[in-house]
Structure 1
Amino acid sequence: MASSDGIRTFTPSSLATLRGHFTGLDTSLHGSKWDQLWTENFAPWDRGVPNPALDEVLTERKDLLGSVKLEGGKRKKALVPGCGMGYDVLLLAAHGYDAYGLEISENALKGARKTEAGSAGKEEYAVRDKGVGKGKVTFLSGDYFKDDFVKEVEGDGKFDIIFDYTFLCALPPSLRPAWALRKSQLLSPTGRLICLEFPSTKPVSSGGPPYALPPVVYEGHLPRPGQELAYDSEGNISTDKLGEEAKDGLVMLAHIKPKKTHQVINIGVDESGKVLDWVGVWAHK
């Protein structure tokens, strides 16, 4: 199912199809199944443009993110795992970052390169600061949980910005400890992790993908990367059983309610247009 223009939402039918596509499958097979969906042009999550909440944070919260360039003038590197059609990668480049989009789906990467090829002259990808200029765009094929793609990244393979959106919600809860550990490993010592928390109000018991991601999921896992956390029978984190935060854990710098996000009714916004998503900005201790 391809996305259409205007306000879009996951229909009950597309949600059921998406859940059924992964039911009972070993997680090692998920990559090929996502590629199959892209091949079939089934992408109800695809909005066709960058998320305005990311643009807002990049524009208005430089107090959290700092300069786009490092000392010496070298550009900071940004990563978007599960980048899909590449919209947010191109937005990060427009803000001046050398931006990397990572995808396990070759068909999604074909779409991302097509998006880049057609991006010239589009307002959403215009250079935000002419003094800084536009960063380089690189799309990588690889598995987020493995190191192969890191060999193609300039420098030490760590990133100054990591943007996570429609990525964690695509992963089954069993992968959350590894997801958090990987974030800790890939984020540079002074880097910032930007998590657009989506879907934050979806019932946890409804399953996925997309899996419900209330703020407590991030608050539980990111300070304890790699640790298995206790969940109750309904799928909620047992907050009374959380252990000590790890030395390599991340700390939240800000929890932001964005002015805008993608218009996904009853998932990103409610029926009145009120934003349901949150943005968390994280860093190393």
Structure 2
Amino acid sequence: MKEDQPSQKLYEKDIMANPKTGAHGYLTTHFANRSREQQSQGWSELWESGQTDFWDRGKPSPALIDFIESATLPRRDGRRLRVLVPGCGKGYDVAMLALHGFDVCGLEVSERGAEVAREFTTSQLSNPSELNFGSKYTHSMTGCVQIIAGDFFKRDWEKLCFEGDTTGFDIIYDYTFLCALLPVMRKDWAHRMSELLAPDGILVCLEFPLYKDLNDIGPPWGLSGVHWNILARGEDGIISEPGEQGEPLNGKFKRTSYFKPPRSYESGRGTDMVSVWMLKK
């Protein structure tokens, strides 16, 4: 099937531009002076106006594909693993994960965004693109997909997932969700992740953007060292210098893996890292 491609000009400009200009500049201007309560409306406005090229990569994450095709993942007797993708966008990763045999819930704050994701994932499940698979993988059993319009920080959407089963997600994947949030929301992001993850589940983060100065305005907000600060150390993630040193480690999570993926998006400028986390026992 012919792929729907986003505007590559925006990404080329984004890759070469100063963070205060180009695509980043448009987003920072769009969200300037918006309070925490106004963030969801800001993203919904972009969906409604069709201005989604700023985050639309046009394909599922190569780093995530390689990870799930090579990793030893937790298993559940009698059911498929359940995955949450918050801020799922058009649904590239949702469709890809379902084609790998997972039951997947994609969450979008915008109803229009959720509609687009439903349409895209439906088309991919019936006629998959080769972009959904690595070089050695072919799918044999497709999982279920649910696309929900809801606020990640609220509890009302959870009962819509997997027939109301609230035992938690086996895998949660975050790519550009944390970097889109105001810094003051980072600690709440970590808390919600601890609520949503199953006791022996994994949180997989493709950390981006790590090239951006932590003091520059977002979105996207620079995240170098932020995941460690909020997940391992249990702090608020509002830092001015990257680093992973120091005690105590009072966070609810422990990092089980940290590596540079062999493949990732060009927009990461070669700096993306994958971190894998589990809840502390």
TM exceeds 0.5? Answer: yes
Aligned to 1:3: 6
Aligned to 2:62: 52
Aligned to 1:38: 47
Whether 2:215 is the aligned partner of 1:220: answer: no
Query: 1:198 aligned to 201, 204, 208, which one?
Result: 208
Tell me, yes or no, if the aligned pair for 1:230 and 1:238 is still in contact at 8 Å. no
Query: 2:273 aligned to 252, 256, 278, which one?
Result: 278
Q: Using the TM superposition, give the Cα deviation of residue 284 of structure 1 relative to its aligned residue in structure 2, in angstroms.
A: 1.2
Q: Using the TM superposition, give the Cα deviation of residue 117 of structure 1 relative to its aligned residue in structure 2, in angstroms.
A: 2.8
Q: What are the superposed Cα offsets for residues 113-165 of structure 1, whole Å, 9 maximum, x if unpaired?
A: 1211321132234695555x111010011110010011112222510000001
Aligned to 2:38: 29
**Structure 2: 5+ residue stretches without partners:** none
Q: Using the TM superposition, give the Cα deviation of residue 36 of structure 1 relative to its aligned residue in structure 2, in angstroms.
A: 0.5
Tell me, yes or no, if the aligned pair for 2:83 and 2:104 is still in contact at 8 Å. yes
For the structure 1 residues 99 and 239, does the alpha-carbon distance in structure 2 shift closer, same or farther, using more than 3 Å as the test?
closer
Aligned to 1:87: 92
Tell me, yes or no, if the aligned pair for 2:109 and 2:150 is still in contact at 8 Å. yes
Q: Residues of 1 paired with 2:231 and 2:243: CA distance?
A: 15
Aligned to 1:103: 108
Aligned to 1:272: none
Aligned length: 263
Q: Using the TM superposition, give the Cα deviation of residue 23 of structure 1 relative to its aligned residue in structure 2, in angstroms.
A: 1.2
Q: Residues of 2 paired with 1:257 and 1:86: CA distance?
A: 24
Tell me, yes or no, if the aligned pair for 1:52 and 1:262 is still in contact at 8 Å. yes
Q: What are the superposed Cα offsets for residues 89-123 of structure 1, whole Å, 9 maximum, x if unpaired?
A: 11111111100000101121121112113211322
Whether 2:156 is the aligned partner of 1:144: answer: no
Query: Which range moved further: 112-121 or 50-59?
Result: 112-121
> Which residue identity lines up with residue 22 of structure 1 in the other structure?
F
> Which residue identity lines up with residue 264 of structure 2 in the other structure?
T
Query: 2:74 aligned to 41, 66, 69, which one?
Result: 66
Q: Residues of 2 paired with 1:6 and 1:30: CA distance?
A: 26
Q: Residues of 2 paired with 1:4 and 1:110: CA distance?
A: 20
For the structure 1 residues 190 and 240, does the alpha-carbon distance in structure 2 shift closer, same or farther, using more than 3 Å as the test?
closer
Q: Residues of 2 paired with 1:187 and 1:118: CA distance?
A: 29
Query: 1:20 aligned to 12, 21, 29, which one?
Result: 29
Tell me, yes or no, if the aligned pair for 2:10 and 2:23 is still in contact at 8 Å. no
**Amino-acid identity (%):** 35
Tell me, yes or no, if the aligned pair for 2:65 and 2:132 is still in contact at 8 Å. no
Q: Residues of 2 paired with 1:25 and 1:206: CA distance?
A: 16
Tell me, yes or no, if the aligned pair for 2:231 and 2:253 is still in contact at 8 Å. yes
For the structure 1 residues 30 and 257, does the alpha-carbon distance in structure 2 shift closer, same or farther, using more than 3 Å as the test?
same
Three-state SS of the structure 2 residue aligned to 1:139 is: strand
Aligned to 2:119: 114
Q: Residues of 2 paired with 1:136 and 1:6: CA distance?
A: 34
Q: Residues of 2 paired with 1:52 and 1:258: CA distance?
A: 9
> Which residue identity lines up with residue 35 of structure 1 in the other structure?
S
Tell me, yes or no, if the aligned pair for 1:96 and 1:135 is still in contact at 8 Å. yes
**Structure 1: 5+ residue stretches without partners:** 270-274
Q: TM-score, normalised by structure 2?
A: 0.86
Aligned to 2:263: 260
Q: Residues of 2 paired with 1:110 and 1:49: CA distance?
A: 18
Taking only aligned residues, the RMSD between alpha carbons, in angstroms, comes to: 2.3
Three-state SS of the structure 1 residue aligned to 2:11 is: coil
> Which residue identity lines up with residue 241 of structure 2 in the other structure?
N
Tell me, yes or no, if the aligned pair for 1:180 and 1:224 is still in contact at 8 Å. no
For the structure 1 residues 80 and 197, does the alpha-carbon distance in structure 2 shift closer, same or farther, using more than 3 Å as the test?
same
Q: Residues of 1 paired with 2:207 and 2:24: CA distance?
A: 19
Tell me, yes or no, if the aligned pair for 1:91 and 1:125 is still in contact at 8 Å. yes
Query: 2:217 aligned to 207, 216, 220, which one?
Result: 207
Q: Residues of 2 paired with 1:26 and 1:15: CA distance?
A: 19
